[in-house]
Amino acid sequence: MSTALSAPTLGGAERPEDDPEEARTPHLAGSVRTDDEAVDRLRSELRSLGHVVVAFSGGADSAFLAWMATDVLGPSHVLCATAVSPSLAPSERAECRSLAGEWGLRWTEVVTDELADPAYVANDGLRCFHCKSSLMKALAPIVSSEQEAAPQGTAVSVVLGVNVDDLGDHRPGQQAAAQAGATFPLVTAGFTKEAVRRWSRALGLRTWDKPAAACLASRVPYGTPVTIGTLRRVTLAEEALRGLGFGQLRVRHYGDTARLEVPLDDFALVVDRREQVAAAVHDAGYRYVTLDLDGFRSGNLNATLVVDGTGSGRPPTTNGTPVGPNGTPVGPGGTPAGPGVDGCGGRRDVGGAWDDQVGGDR
């Protein structure tokens, strides 16, 4: 067991309790019902791996996996690596550094160069495949270095915080990682997203309720090239909006138009702070600011992808031109090409239904 970790370990009496009163300790808040068997399986899986490199994004899943791996194997046998590129929000990079310090994780950054790959920049349905391939390539020298410190006969493994719920979505990055030899201990142990959050809360990990934060490239509609300039605009807009009190949000990039997604419960806050919201997004470089009346929906745009016989997702097209519903051609930036649209880059009907059909997101 590692003694450097600030949260309690999972041995014996320190497991989450069913009794609400007994559970109210500095680390075990509220009544938390847990699946001890899943945690036992996870600990067993990590012990069998022996020495791992955790792809550490700072999200709820990878943070839980990083903490558990370090607790089970000790810092000398767990390296948490954060991929740094223009698609990583500066606040997320800072969060990874902060968590590593708080929890006593052995941590490093690794620079990835996915933007140097034309296939990634093209931004079709396999963008995540190319991104994860870039990550695995960047991690290869680190894995080789870690191998020298691994127990004799133990092969260092790259582990990702993929959970069971992730398996049902369009996630070509998982395929790329698996092909390169990565493993998914949370899946092996049977952890759902809810179980990850429940156990994280029981352990006192502050990431237990952290909103999902996909890479910034996921804000760019499929078929629209991913560029540093576009990612910078999205970054500036989202960081500014978080500064106004919005936790869960997405800024969808459609050329000069930013389409905001926030939870329905935050609509009143958007209206109340309308001028500040608009100014923040305009300052990021957008001419138009729109609010999606359907609210925040993680991964909603992946439904637009056409899945071919190989399992590869690509945007629907007509003669090579991306299209929306009913064959409507899609112009630059994901906006409709042709009549019937307003000056904000979307259809006149409300709700954002058309926009859902031309973009890509987590």
Which residue do the tokens 């069971």 mark? 164
Q: Can you give the pLDDT at residue 152?
A: 84
Fold of the domain built from segment(s) 12-202: Rossmann fold (3.40.50)
The angle that helices 60-73 and 90-103 make with each other, rounded to 10 degrees, is 30
CA angle 316, 361, 54 (to 5 degrees): 125
pTM above 0.95, yes or no: no
Along the 362 residues of the chain, how does pLDDT read in single tens digits? Answer: 333 444 434 433 233 333 333 222 223 222 233 467 899 999 999 999 999 999 999 999 999 999 999 999 999 999 999 999 999 999 999 999 999 999 999 999 999 999 999 999 999 989 999 999 999 999 999 999 999 888 888 899 999 999 999 887 678 899 999 999 999 999 999 999 999 999 999 999 999 999 888 899 999 989 999 999 999 999 999 999 999 999 899 999 999 999 999 999 999 999 999 999 999 999 999 999 999 999 998 766 666 675 544 444 544 443 443 333 333 343 333 333 333 322 333 322 223 322 222 233 34
What is the Cα–Cα distance from 227 to 219, expressed in whole angstroms? 12
Residue 352 tokens read as 């954002």
Annotated domain spans of the chain = 12-202, 216-356
Integer angstrom CA distances of residue 74 from 15, 122, 182 = 19, 41, 20
Asked if 241 contacts 324 with a C-beta cutoff of 8 angstroms, the reply is no
Which residue do the tokens 């997101």 mark? 361
Asked if 150 contacts 51 with a C-beta cutoff of 8 angstroms, the reply is yes
Which residue do the tokens 């001890």 mark? 36
What is the Cα–Cα distance from 185 to 355, expressed in whole angstroms? 36
Q: How many Cβ atoms sit within 10 Å of the Cβ of residue 218?
A: 25
DSSP assignment of 142-160 equals HHHHHHTTSPTTPPPEEE-
Q: Can you give the pLDDT at residue 167?
A: 87
Residue 349 tokens read as 């009907």
Q: Can you give the pLDDT at residue 302?
A: 67
Q: Can you give the pLDDT at residue 150?
A: 83
What is the Cα–Cα distance from 219 to 232, expressed in whole angstroms? 11
What is the Cα–Cα distance from 315 to 301, expressed in whole angstroms? 10
Q: Can you give the pLDDT at residue 311?
A: 42
Q: Can you give the pLDDT at residue 28?
A: 28
Q: Can you give the pLDDT at residue 329?
A: 40
